[in-house]
Chains A and B, each alone.
Chain A
Amino acid sequence: MTDDKLPGEAKTVDEPVEGAGSAPKAGLEREDAQPDEATELSEAVDQAVTYAEGPHAIETRTGMWSSGSGDTSGYGRIVRVVEMPSQPLPSDGWYAGVTARLDELVPDALVRVVFDRGELTFYVAREKLSQVMGQLRDDAHLRFEFLPSVSGVNYPTDEGAELHVVYHLQSMTHNRRLRVETSCPDDDPHVPSVVAIYPAADWHERETYDMFGIVFDGHPHLTRILMPDDWVGHPQRKDYPLGGIPVEYKGAVVPPPDQRRSYR
């Protein structure tokens, strides 16, 4: 914990409160929440960035149904791109400041910054994940104390990053939400666990392991939580079948949903 104070920072939480004059200003909840983020942190923004920005396409899907269906609806010619949408960071608001601050604290950690519809997402290399999460929780300007959810995503076409882990973070002091995402390849599905930093991640990481097979290194007891303990396979991966039995009616059999018509 460094004692260096940023320009403009008057006091930290450890120092005693002076009196009536030092009551938090409107909109602030804590002493170490800085009132004017944009001007103080914007100095760091002008430096060169090491992360990628802009939309990132993962997969392009054509047609709603696979070939061989008697579909005449016209949806067979639709073209959809699966991508991480992105707009440039707005000049007002906390987004640029937080990005710059994290870049300053943990250099070369951010792989990509995605900003879309008011939501900021950081893509972080998994080697730097523990450092990044630690700084996000502890630094006075970031202070994302609350981890409501850890989940996983499977992008089978994203070579080298087939399994993503998504952490949603919330800062109560600054009233902000952030998303941090890491990825790992299919043949080495290991991600460092953040249980030591956010204990709430315990069961969430177990669920992500159960559903996707992502092994969280450093988790105290990584076992299946939703499926029975001896279950084989990870159900929420894209290549895991839905499973289901055909339903027999009088003179007709209705197959399970994933075999009725191949949806894309």
Chain B
Amino acid sequence: MGLEEKIPQGVLLTTVEGIFGWMRQASFWPATFGLACCAIEMMTYGAPRFDAGRWGQEVFRASPRQADLMIISGRVSQKMAPVLRQVYDQMPEPKWVMAMGVCASSGGMFNNYAIVQGGDHIVPVDMYVPGCPPRPDMLIDAMFKLRKEIVMKRPIGAHELAEIEAQEQAALEAMATHEMKGLMR
């Protein structure tokens, strides 16, 4: 890749990681993926009253190739699921996914044949925002948390490779979801 992949672990890598993280969260462009009612709140989030341009998010990129973030805003139907996956696949790394609203998080009020019970059945989700629809204030809060805690802390280079290894190991040893009982987080 680039020069940053070759930096040895240590203070230099951590500093560069910090710079990369800061730049990524400062200019964090979402892709337009408004599906249903949550899309209205997402539009309001970008509109003047709850201006997302204050932190560099006023450009919702129409092309996923230029986007960092996919906000799944709205219910994902069975027909839309392959499209969602395709748009996610077209986004270049590093990319993040925010499931906005209850329908994108878990199927919401629609527990039926037509709606996929959560966007995380199709794409890996980094931030879940509850609400039907979540107020733009809630979306702002979720976006800030996503930026500060997840985007800014994304590892690069050797750290990234180590983290991928650790995640794979954890996934191999993890308990199956249907075996987890009594959890409500």
Contact = CB atoms under 8 A, between A and B. Distances in A.
Contact of A256 (B111, B181, B182, B184): B111
A242 B183 CA distance: 26
A228 B78 contact: yes
- Give the interface residue-count category, chain B: 10 to 19
A227 B113 CA distance: 10
Given A226-B79, A227-B79, A241 B113 contact: yes
A245 B117 contact: yes
Contacts of B79: 226-228
B113 A235 contact: yes
Interface string A234-264: 0100001111110111110000110000000
Contacts of B113: 235, 240-244
B112 interface: yes
Interface string B167-183: 00000000000000111
A228 B116 CA distance: 13
A231 B78 CA distance: 10
Question: Per DSSP, are chain B's interface residues mostly helix, strand or loop, or mixed?
Answer: loop
B114 interface: yes
A244 B112 contact: yes
Contacts of B182: 250-251
B183 A227 contact: no
B122 to A, nearest CB: 14
Interface string B145-185: 00000000000000000000000000000000000011110
Most buried by A among B113, B183, B184: B113
Most buried by A among B111, B114, B184: B111
A195 B114 CA distance: 28
A236 B112 CA distance: 12
A241 B113 CA distance: 8
B112 A227 contact: no
B78 A227 contact: yes
B111 A247 contact: yes
B177 to A, nearest CB: 9
Given A226-B79, A227-B78, A227-B79, A235 B114 contact: yes
A242 B110 CA distance: 10
A248 B182 CA distance: 8
A227 B184 contact: no
Given A250-B182, A251-B182, A245 B78 contact: no
B75 to A, nearest CB: 13
Contacts of B112: 242-244, 256
Contacts of A231: 78
Given A250-B182, A250-B184, A251-B182, A227 B114 contact: yes
A243 B114 CA distance: 8
A247 B112 CA distance: 12
Contacts of B117: 245
A101 to B, nearest CB: 43
Given A249-B184, A250-B183, A250-B184, A257 B78 contact: no
28 contacts: A226-B79, A226-B114, A227-B78, A227-B79, A228-B78, A228-B79, A231-B78, A235-B113, A235-B114, A240-B113, A241-B113, A242-B113, A243-B112, A243-B113, A243-B114, A244-B111, A244-B112, A244-B113, A245-B111, A245-B117, A247-B111, A248-B181, A248-B183, A250-B183, A250-B184, A251-B182, A256-B111, A256-B112
Interface of B: 78-79, 111-114, 117, 181-184
- Please name the 4 residue pairs, one residue from A and one from B, whose CB atoms are nearest each other, closest first: A243-B113, A244-B111, A250-B184, A228-B79
Given A235-B113, A243-B112, 11 more contacts: A227-B79, A231-B78, A240-B113, A242-B113, A245-B111, A245-B117, A248-B183, A249-B184, A250-B182, A250-B183, A256-B112
